[in-house]
Amino acid sequence: MEITYLSEIPSGEEAIITKVLGHGAFRKRITEMGFVKGKKVTVIKNAPLQDPVEYEIMGYKVSLRRSEAEMVEVVSVEEAKNLSGIEFNGVIDEETLKKSAIQKGKVINVALVGNPNCGKTTLFNYASGAHERVGNYSGVTVDAKEATMKKEGYTFRIVDLPGTYSITEYSPEELYVRKHITEKHPDIVINVVDASNLERNLFLTTQLIDMNIKVVIALNMYDELEDKGAKFNYTALGEMIGIPFIPTVASKGKGIDELFAKLIEVYEEQDPTVRHIHVNYGLSIEKAINDIQHEIWKNPAIRVQLSSRFVAIKLLETDKTMLEWLRKFDNYENIKVVAEKAIATLEKEYGERSETIITDAKYGFIDGALKETYRQAKADKRKTKRELDDILTHRFWGFPIFFFFMWLMFQATFTLGSYPMDWIDAGVGALSEWLQSIMPAGPVRDLVIDGIIGGCGGVIVFLPNILILFFFISLMEDTGYMARASFIMDKLMHKIGLHGKSFIPLVMGFGCNVPAIMATRTLDNRKDRILTMIITPFMSCSARLPVYVLLISAIFPENQGLVLFSIYIIGIFLAIVTALIMKKIAFAKKEVPFVMELPPYRIPTLRNTTIHMWHKGQQYLRKMGTVILFASILIWALGYFPRNVEYSQDYDAQIAAVEANTQLSNDTKAEQIQFYEVEKESERQEQSYIGRMGHAIEPIISPLGYDWKMGVSIITGLAAKEIVVSTMGILYQADMKADENSQTLQTKIKEQKHRTGVLNGQEVFTPLVSFGFMIFILIYFPCVAVIAAIKKEANWGWALFTMVYTTGIAWIMAFLVYQIGSLF
């Protein structure tokens, strides 16, 4: 349902008002003139210069500027017809129009705003049923997430905005939140406040008060406040600042219904608590604000869009973004002069920078308000948590503990994942065998069994490993340990030219590189963001995991966790070396201070951890049902055609000769026939379209010890790394039958031998080649989605650079592993 504004209604047409936006005096004046929900307004005509516009409402005429009319939401007659749900016979009465306006007026636009770690996204997930990522560290939500829910006859459009400590212009997420509130005009802002950290969280609340918008505070994690034994009279504080407080425990769903009931009350203006107050900053600051406001008031167009007090305070904070926004207004220069004079006066009086003066005044207000309403518990209940930090962030023990957790995660991925992996493998084999028995022989059966099941079935068996990996990553995030890992790694990150906060996007890259690239938005310095982006692909994402699991299970049956761990460590080592080189070449820069919150340790809920794990599983399955399915069919077709090929020898005659030989036993016959059939199929495949592609790139990959099938797998893996396994499943003809003579893909790759060249007759997948192949898959060309993310966050230049340099390093590393290893 699109939003229509009064400014968009053509001359001569009618509409019904659904909402009036705007602030303060403008909103009061326009509603007193009759612009209220349910009233019909007619557009009479535009002025000769198209502004202002003349309207008729309640029997009299009134003119509004277009900028003012943009603050009035309406429902057109055409939309009212669609909303009314009745048959339209050319005439629609005024009462139906009003009902339609009221119906549309029951759509409440809500923005969720709060500090990182306050439980904002948890609340969003619980309330809306969405499954967005929740993490116990700064910067998980780096874009707005939207959801719709219905409650008590109202439709709530909820937007989960990035976590931010304020709405200044210090970081991209702060500007993003501010822009959303000032441009999208949500009906109500839910300010999610961490009840266990009131003073810091209420700083953002004071900025929302300055904006003169409707706010409801979700006092989240209220159980932690009660557990500490603290006493908080939130009702009294709510009456003091004109904002209602609703205690919630979002992780358990407590208080959510009460919160949305309060939203309806506030939206319908039935809550007596809600009123606009001014945070008193003291005589000198208030005079400075008032002086700037007087100049702002001379241009009503500014007041229509933003609270004049908010604009004045931002100017006192020397906010460049606000100054730039004002540039389009006629009295910009006068406002700028008045603001500069006020800043100079304040700085001379206080001996501080003006933004510091405002911040101190805000915290002074918060301190005074909490002294009247909040009583801290005498006993320090966080002692055990501090003791835990003493161990986990210890200067000597911190690193071994971190690496132990990482090793444990990878070992569990194999050990725990092997059981469900075998069950799924057997299920895929049974399905393949059943289809083989009921479908007639021909291309369709070959497509279904060799193409779809051979490709997708070869990938789905690794779903348990993916789920276990994400379960462990989620546990580390939700407990707050990931932020500690960032803390202990800061000095090392600093040495390679990165900020400690870069560590979090890099660790997120173990799950998926795409959200990791997006998470670099939380870094304040552009050079930090780009450098983190171009080394993130070295973090081995879960899409590469099926390749590792396949080869490690087949070629390295012992020390599986250790081999996998070494692959990840090599990726981290290459990221460090690349960062050091890039720092010298392109990213020499001024240092950025390490400022990052270390959130309290929290016991993760099984619900949130499981939701995150399953959400990633769904993404994996969706990819398997789209990209991987399409790729599997394409690869099968390229390998299946052309059917008429010229063989180097007459395999059919040789098979017939074996069958006619009465001196051979049945077992010997079967063995020889199978040999000729495999030889025939291998030669046919080499002459297929995909075989020709593979042989074309053989000169490039043969120094790495690879055969042409591995080369084809590398090419198809450009789209998504899971396709490497599905390609191998098709090209190596993995037999998915469940009988005792069947050969899975693991068995098949162990038996592969080179058919041409100097390596003719030798095994393809030796431990050396397999390890080199895993290194190549780790490093080369990130998937198309990652390249798109880098292009979006940086530009095409960095995206193209990433494609070229990662593939070049991959070839060099695989070459060194194979050639140097062959010497021993």
- Cβ contact 187:108 at 8 Å: yes
CA dist 257 to 112, 127, 224, 409, 734, Å?
Answer: 16, 8, 20, 38, 54
Q: Any idea which of 158-162, 251-255, 418-422 has the lowest mean pLDDT?
A: 418-422
CA separation for the pair 70, 65 (Å, rounded): 9
Q: Strand runs (DSSP E) across 288-378, as ranges?
A: 374-375
Task: Look at the alpha carbons of 135, 526, 399, 402 in this order and tell me if their dihedral is positive or negative.
Answer: positive
- Cβ contact 747:551 at 8 Å: no
Our CA dihedral for 758, 763, 768, 770, rounded to 10 degrees, sits at: 120
Residue 18: φ, ψ to 5°: -110, -30
Average the pLDDT over 427-454 and give the result.
85
Q: What is the pLDDT of residue 795?
A: 82
Both tokens assigned to 680: 């025939």
CA separation for the pair 544, 522 (Å, rounded): 26
| Helix or strand (DSSP H, E) at 215 | strand 215-220
* pLDDT tens profile 569-612: 899 889 888 888 887 777 665 554 444 556 667 777 777 778 77
Average the pLDDT over 251-260 and give the result.
89
* pLDDT tens profile 224-250: 888 888 889 999 999 999 999 999 998
CA separation for the pair 303, 298 (Å, rounded): 9
Both tokens assigned to 705: 């010890």
Tell me the pLDDT band of 116, cut-offs 50, 70 and 90.
confident
Q: What is the pLDDT of residue 742?
A: 40
CA separation for the pair 481, 598 (Å, rounded): 9
CA separation for the pair 591, 436 (Å, rounded): 64
Q: What is the pLDDT of residue 87?
A: 42
Q: What is the pLDDT of residue 726?
A: 76
For the chain, give the number of residues. 824
Q: What is the pLDDT of residue 126?
A: 82
Q: What is the pLDDT of residue 217?
A: 94
Residue 276 is classified by DSSP as -
For residue 231, list its beta bridge partners: 375
- Cβ contact 298:331 at 8 Å: yes
Tell me the pLDDT band of 676, cut-offs 50, 70 and 90.
confident
* pLDDT tens profile 19-71: 777 665 666 667 766 777 777 888 887 776 667 778 888 777 777 777 778 87
Q: Please enumerate in sequence order all residues whose Cβ is within 8 A of that of 179, keeping only pairs 6 or more positions apart, or say none.
A: none
Q: What is the pLDDT of residue 26?
A: 65
Select the more confidently predicted residue: 138 or 47.
Answer: 47
Residue that has been written with the tokens 């399905």 in this structure: 431
H runs (alpha helix) in 447-602:
454-460, 463-479, 481-495, 503-508, 513-519, 526-535, 545-555, 560-585
Q: What is the pLDDT of residue 740?
A: 35
* pLDDT tens profile 357-379: 888 888 888 888 898 899 887 65
Task: Reply yes or no on whether the pLDDT at 10 is more than 70.
Answer: yes
Tell me the pLDDT band of 136, cut-offs 50, 70 and 90.
very low
Tell me the pLDDT band of 143, cut-offs 50, 70 and 90.
low
* Range from 12-21, 294-303, 453-462, 766-775 that averages highest in pLDDT: 766-775
Task: Look at the alpha carbons of 700, 701, 702, 707 in this order and tell me if their dihedral is positive or negative.
Answer: negative
Average the pLDDT over 800-812 and give the result.
93
Residue that has been written with the tokens 């002459």 in this structure: 687
| 3-state class (DSSP) for residue 324 | helix
Both tokens assigned to 99: 């009902």
* pLDDT tens profile 366-419: 888 898 899 887 655 455 555 677 777 777 787 788 878 877 877 787 778 878
Written as one string, the DSSP assignment of 511-552 is T-HHHHHHHGGG-SSHHHHHHHHHHGGGS--TTTHHHHHHHH
Task: Reply yes or no on whether the pLDDT at 94 is more than 60.
Answer: no
Both tokens assigned to 381: 């209940």
Task: Reply yes or no on whether the pLDDT at 639 is more than 70.
Answer: yes
Sheet of 145-151: strands edge to edge? Answer: 145-151, 154-160, 107-114, 188-194, 215-220, 245-247
